[in-house]
Amino acid sequence: MMPEPLAFIGTADLAGLLRGKSIPLAELPNRMGRGVGIAPSNLMLSVFGPIHDTPFGTAGELMLVPDPGTETLIPAPGGPDIHLLLGDFHGTDGVPWDCCPRGFLRRALLALEAEFGLTLLAAFEQELVYTGTEDRPGSPYTLDALRRQGAFGGALLAAMCRAGIAPDSFLAEYGPCQFEVTAGPVPGLSAADQAVQVRELARAVAAGLGHRAILAPMLRPDGTGNGTHVHWSLLDRAGQPATHDPARLHGLSAAAEHMAAGMLHHMPALVAVTAPSAASYYRLRPGRWAPTRVDLGVQDRGSAIRVCPAHAAAPDSAARQFNVEFRVADAAASPYLALGALVWAGLDGLRRGLTLDSLAPAPLPASLAEAMGHFQASAAAADWFGPLHDVYLRFKRGELTALAGLDEAAICARYAAIY
């Protein structure tokens, strides 16, 4: 018997996991407008599986409606490819659900465009550990490490190309068996979709080779972190680059400075969403090429926000290359929530005309619990997230309760088993 090809309609949820439902591929045309029915409490499925707490109970019905433009083929070992479609939650009346992760990002991007005429481009740079290669000393960035990982990197880039995702690079990173994959910049919603797709493609390609791609922020408390760095830049109404102004501080346009200042201003609360696991904070420690402070640096990979270089040799494209990198994120975060929170914070910086000189560097929150305290106390976050603000806090409190009594090594292991 031939296996029935499947379509999977899903979203990257509060746990940053891709969850949804599958249907026969032949049924997909009938489901395009309607979607698949899902209980609101599905959003409260914890990273570890069980629902620890939910305001929705067992009642209610939502439709997860696929976006046809997101169709991606996910290789499944021994079976036909799965057709992945990313979607938005609507009520059965067709009204967008106010707790939908993708809707949260969509609203932020629309507000940025409506109020300031700016389109945000983003590129996600994702680090992972591939288990199908041996750990040998002296390997960071070597051709040797790249060669020894075998078919994984090339197969991943081919799967990305097949999905219409333009790969920027694949390289052997600093940590044992650690690699990094980056997609080129695209408009914000597509960038978040692509981040979800690349994670799943990495996991699927590794599984096809009998191994895992582990994106957990830390595999061991004393190890090397896996970051998900988010590069962003702006286009104006005419589609022209609007991030760079060589005459201004750090080469940032006024709009880019306001946005970066907004992200810095809200960072203590923001990181509860962008670095959202207990283990995320073991990564944000000194000596890891990861940020430890709420700061902006020019071409400094230790800072929370890095102003990236543009190459003078190509002045006509310098304005297009110029971008800003947010480094306090990892793969425990839903790309929709992480990028959405960044855009909302940047938008607040634009609305208030915040500037970099008005901000003093401070330490980043040292734990998820501390970040959640800032998130809970933030009136701005309550405004951006709406009902999702309290829902998210309940969700994350349940996650921390599930980890109570475990030491850092055990906590890393719990997350590494999943991400």
DSSP for 221-290, written as a single string: TTS-B--EEEEEEEE-TTS-B-SB-TTSGGGB-HHHHHHHHHHHHTHHHHHHHHS-STTHHHHSSTTSSS
Which residues lie near Mg ion (CB under 5 A)? 180
Q: Report how far residue 247's alpha carbon sits from residue 17's, in angstroms, rounded to the nearest whole number.
A: 43
- Per partner kind, with CB cut-offs from 5 to 8 A, the member of ligand GLU, Mg ion, none near residue 188 is none
Q: Report how far residue 192's alpha carbon sits from residue 121's, in angstroms, rounded to the nearest whole number.
A: 10
- Using the rule CB under 6 A, give the single segment among 152-160, 161-169, 281-289, 354-362 that binds ligand GLU: 281-289
* 289 near ligand GLU, judged by CB under 6 A: yes
- Per partner kind, with CB cut-offs from 5 to 8 A, the member of Mg ion, ligand GLU, none near residue 236 is none
User: In this chain, which residue has its C-beta nearest to ligand GLU?
Assistant: 227
Give the count of alpha carbons within 13 A of 144, CB side only.
9
Q: Which of 106, 283, 389, 396 binds ligand GLU (CB under 6 A)?
A: 283
Q: Which of 105, 145, 159, 290 binds ligand GLU (CB under 6 A)?
A: 290
User: In this chain, which residue has its C-beta nearest to Mg ion?
Assistant: 180
CB 37 within 8 A of CB 29: no
- Per partner kind, with CB cut-offs from 5 to 8 A, the member of Mg ion, ligand GLU, none near residue 170 is none
Helices (H) and strands (E) in the chain, counts: 14, 17
* 227 near ligand GLU, judged by CB under 6 A: yes
Q: Report how far residue 234's alpha carbon sits from residue 117's, in angstroms, rounded to the nearest whole number.
A: 10
Q: Which of 107, 327, 389, 396 binds ligand GLU (CB under 6 A)?
A: 327
CB 213 within 8 A of CB 413: no
Q: Report how far residue 101's alpha carbon sits from residue 116's, in angstroms, rounded to the nearest whole number.
A: 23
- Per partner kind, with CB cut-offs from 5 to 8 A, the member of ligand GLU, Mg ion, none near residue 103 is none
Beta bridge partners, 171, equal 180
Q: Report how far residue 361's alpha carbon sits from residue 371's, in angstroms, rounded to the nearest whole number.
A: 16
- Using the rule CB under 6 A, give the single segment among 129-137, 140-148, 219-227, 402-410 that binds ligand GLU: 219-227
- Per partner kind, with CB cut-offs from 5 to 8 A, the member of ligand GLU, Mg ion, none near residue 327 is ligand GLU
Q: Report how far residue 166's alpha carbon sits from residue 161's, in angstroms, rounded to the nearest whole number.
A: 6
Nearer to ligand GLU, 159 or 331 (CB): 331
Q: Report how far residue 94's alpha carbon sits from residue 19's, in angstroms, rounded to the nearest whole number.
A: 20
Nearer to ligand GLU, 282 or 392 (CB): 282
- Using the rule CB under 6 A, give the single segment among 71-79, 196-204, 224-232, 241-249 that binds ligand GLU: 224-232
* 225 near ligand GLU, judged by CB under 6 A: yes
CB of 243 to ligand GLU, least distance (A): 20
What is the size of the binding site for ligand GLU (CB under 6 A)? 10
Question: 3-class DSSP state for residue 87?
Answer: strand
Beta bridge partners, 126, equal 181, 228
* 170 near ligand GLU, judged by CB under 6 A: no
- Using the rule CB under 6 A, give the single segment among 137-145, 189-197, 287-295, 372-380 that binds ligand GLU: 287-295
* 297 near ligand GLU, judged by CB under 6 A: no
- Per partner kind, with CB cut-offs from 5 to 8 A, the member of Mg ion, ligand GLU, none near residue 66 is none
- Per partner kind, with CB cut-offs from 5 to 8 A, the member of ligand GLU, Mg ion, none near residue 262 is none
Element (H, E) at 66: strand 62-66
Give the count of alpha carbons within 13 A of 369, CB side only.
5
Nearer to ligand GLU, 263 or 350 (CB): 263
Nearer to Mg ion, 64 or 290 (CB): 290
* Beta-carbon count within 10 A of 142 CB: 12
Q: Report how far residue 416's alpha carbon sits from residue 2's, in angstroms, rounded to the nearest whole number.
A: 35
Q: By rule CB under 6 A, what string of x and - marks binding of each residue 103-142 to ligand GLU? A: ------------------------x---------------
- Footprint on this chain of ligand GLU (rule: CB under 6 A): 127, 224-225, 227, 283, 288-290, 301, 327
